[in-house]
């Protein structure tokens, strides 16, 4: 668990300028890392599309595929939540696992797995539909993968949006041998934000 926390902080350092943001909402993104617990390559911050410039699902997926082609040395894929995220196939977790699965099946990403395993860093607990895409991807890779969830939703809020409980999603993962880690709030948020969450 310690190495997962350290790796998750590394993911956050790439995508989030401030280690523990004070603003209300973190950028909603996901990153699929193909060589955990190795180094994230290429290093350095990545400019995520901001709220006013977020792309739709089709353009976001095209950007993921472009990243895969233009950064052959990269061992991770990433995606910001698109502005038309109601269709579940547009969710970052669904897009990343779909694109990565196609790359693995086409022999274009197998070398990136190296000696490590796969870690999916998710902003919130994936929905049930995305969970099934993650399970399908797990069956393509040789080692048990890890799903690290950065920001918990309060159960009643998650159930209204996702139509199921996060506990059921986590149970589904564990049945397939997928390790689930919920990151401590103190690892992601400022003390003020943590206090606000528990009001």
The answer, yes or no, to whether residue 198 has pLDDT greater than 70, is: no
Distance CA 188, CA 85 (A): 23
The answer, yes or no, to whether residue 138 has pLDDT greater than 90, is: yes
* DSSP H helical ranges for the chain: 2-15, 57-70, 92-105, 128-138, 155-162, 166-175, 185-188, 191-197
Distance CA 11, CA 45 (A): 10
Please give the structure tokens belonging to residue 139: 């069956």
* DSSP H helical ranges for 30-177: 57-70, 92-105, 128-138, 155-162, 166-175
- Do residues 75 and 35 lie in contact, with contact meaning Cβ atoms separated by under 8 Å? yes
pLDDT value, residue 160: 67
pLDDT value, residue 167: 84
How confident is residue 18, by pLDDT bands cut at 50, 70 and 90? low
Q: Is the peptide bond before 37 cis (omega within 30 degrees of 0)?
A: yes
Summarize pLDDT for 74-106 with one digit per residue, the tens.
788 888 888 887 778 889 999 999 999 998 888
pLDDT value, residue 28: 77
Question: In CATH, what is the architecture of 2-197?
Answer: 3-Layer(aba) Sandwich (3.40)
The answer, yes or no, to whether residue 107 has pLDDT greater than 80, is: no
3-state secondary structure of 120: strand
Summarize pLDDT for 19-64 with one digit per residue, the tens.
555 545 566 789 998 888 777 776 555 665 555 567 888 998 998 8
CB neighbours of 193 closer than 8 A, spacing ≥ 6? 20, 21, 22, 24, 185
pLDDT value, residue 46: 64
User: How confident is the prediction for the chain on average, in pLDDT?
Assistant: 78
User: pTM for this structure?
Assistant: 0.83
How confident is residue 124, by pLDDT bands cut at 50, 70 and 90? confident
Q: Mark residue 72 as left, alpha or beta (left: phi above 0; alpha: psi -120 to 50; beta: remaining).
A: alpha
CB neighbours of 54 closer than 8 A, spacing ≥ 6? 80, 81, 82, 83
The answer, yes or no, to whether residue 110 has pLDDT greater than 80, is: no
Q: What radius of gyration, in Å, describes the C-alpha atoms of the chain?
A: 16
């Amino acid at each position: 668990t310690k190495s997962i926390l350290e790796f998750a902080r590394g993911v956050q350092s790439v995508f989030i300028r401030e280690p523990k943001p004070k603003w209300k909402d973190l950028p909603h993104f996901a990153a699929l890392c193909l060589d955990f617990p190795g180094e994230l390559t290429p290093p350095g911050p990545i400019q995520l599309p901001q709220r006013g410039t977020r792309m739709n699902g089709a353009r976001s997926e095209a950007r993921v595929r472009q990243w895969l082609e233009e950064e052959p040395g990269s061992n991770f894929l990433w995606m910001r939540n698109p502005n038309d995220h109601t269709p579940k196939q547009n969710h970052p977790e669904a897009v990343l696992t779909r694109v990565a699965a196609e790359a693995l099946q086409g022999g274009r990403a197998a070398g990136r797995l190296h000696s490590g395993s796969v870690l999916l860093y998710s902003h919130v607990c994936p929905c049930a539909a995305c969970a099934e895409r993650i399970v399908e991807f797990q069956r393509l890779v040789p080692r048990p993968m890890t799903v690290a969830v950065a920001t918990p939703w309060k159960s009643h809020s998650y159930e209204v949006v996702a139509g199921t409980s996060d506990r059921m999603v986590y149970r589904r993962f564990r049945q397939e041998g997928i390790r689930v880690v919920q990151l401590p709030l103190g690892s992601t948020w400022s003390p003020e934000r943590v206090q606000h969450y528990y009001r």
